């Protein structure tokens, strides 16, 4: 089976860092920082799409300034302490890989950002393929999922999308791909149930029980 994972809020415990970086970036360019819950709502989108949703009445130049400031702030915070994986992530991924499954990532991060953190964490060669919003299309457009399906030559029902946001659930639903939600990420679990996930993980290693059922 092809397992497709979101990164932020699903594998990586980065919600607080993303929120802080966005608030500091807004202050850096003289804008009013937004409340935490508003920033949580855009986690998972590509950065240009996220900023446009947060500050819809600003011009392109202003949004680019915020984008640059956010990138600088996030990099500074992440260099001080890279975001940890959630408990059970590495052991679970190791087990899935040993069982012959393909492991991939579909993320709103940029290619530069994802490659950097994979290298820092020493898992650059761990995943079989990755897709980022700046090289395909931002969620909830399913383009990155379709590209992964094509790369591995599998149908949507031979894959599963695991994520923590409505954007993850929606892009999988658009192509009738099975989806699994996690309850500990950016979006409240009640928002995810409306997308009829196969199950909702309270702990990442619960994925192994589902894997045994589907083979």
Q: 148 and 104 in contact (C-beta within 8 Å)?
A: yes
pLDDT at 124: 87
pLDDT by residue (tens digit) across 152-169?
Answer: 999 999 999 999 999 999
Superfamily of 2-13+85-214 according to CATH = HAD superfamily/HAD-like (3.40.50.1000)
pLDDT by residue (tens digit) across 45-99?
Answer: 999 999 999 999 999 999 999 999 999 999 999 888 889 999 999 999 999 999 9
Full DSSP string of 157-182: GGEEEEESSHHHHHHHHHTT--EEEE
Predicted model pTM: 0.95
pLDDT by residue (tens digit) across 97-116?
Answer: 999 999 999 999 999 999 99
Instruction: Report the DSSP beta bridge partners of residue 45.
Output: 43
Q: Give dist(CA 1, CA 152) in Å, integer.
A: 10
Which tokens hold the place of 205?
Answer: 């290693």
- 15-80: in CATH 2.40.50.180: no
SS3 content of the chain, % helix, strand, coil (to 5): 50, 15, 35
Instruction: Report the DSSP beta bridge partners of residue 200.
Output: 181
User: pLDDT band at 215, cuts 50/70/90?
Assistant: low
Average pLDDT, the chain: 96
First to last CA, the chain: 8
**Over residues 197-206, mean pLDDT:** 97
pLDDT at 76: 93
Q: What ranges do the domains of the chain cover?
A: 2-13+85-214, 15-80
């Amino acid at each position: 089976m092809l397992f497709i994972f979101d990164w932020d809020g699903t594998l990586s415990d980065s919600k607080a860092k993303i929120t802080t970086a966005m608030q500091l970036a807004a202050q850096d360019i003289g804008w009013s920082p937004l409340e935490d819950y508003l920033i949580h709502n855009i986690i998972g989108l590509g950065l240009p799409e996220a900023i446009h949703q947060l500050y819809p009445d600003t011009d392109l130049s202003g949004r680019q300034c915020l984008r640059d400031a956010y990138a600088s702030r996030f990099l500074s915070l992440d260099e001080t302490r890279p975001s940890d994986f959630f408990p059970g992530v590495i052991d679970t991924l190791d087990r899935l890989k040993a069982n012959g499954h393909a492991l991939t990532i579909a993320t709103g991060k940029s290619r530069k950002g994802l490659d950097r953190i994979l290298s820092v964490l020493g898992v650059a060669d761990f995943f079989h393929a990755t897709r980022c919003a700046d090289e395909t299309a931002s969620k909830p457009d399913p383009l990155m999922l379709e590209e992964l399906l094509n790369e591995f030559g599998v149908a949507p029902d031979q894959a599963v999308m695991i994520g923590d946001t409505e954007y993850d659930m929606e892009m999988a639903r658009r192509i009738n791909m099975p989806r699994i939600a996690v309850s500990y990420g950016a979006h409240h679990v009640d928002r995810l149930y409306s997308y009829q996930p196969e199950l909702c993980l309270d702990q990442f290693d619960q994925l192994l029980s589902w894997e045994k059922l589907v083979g």
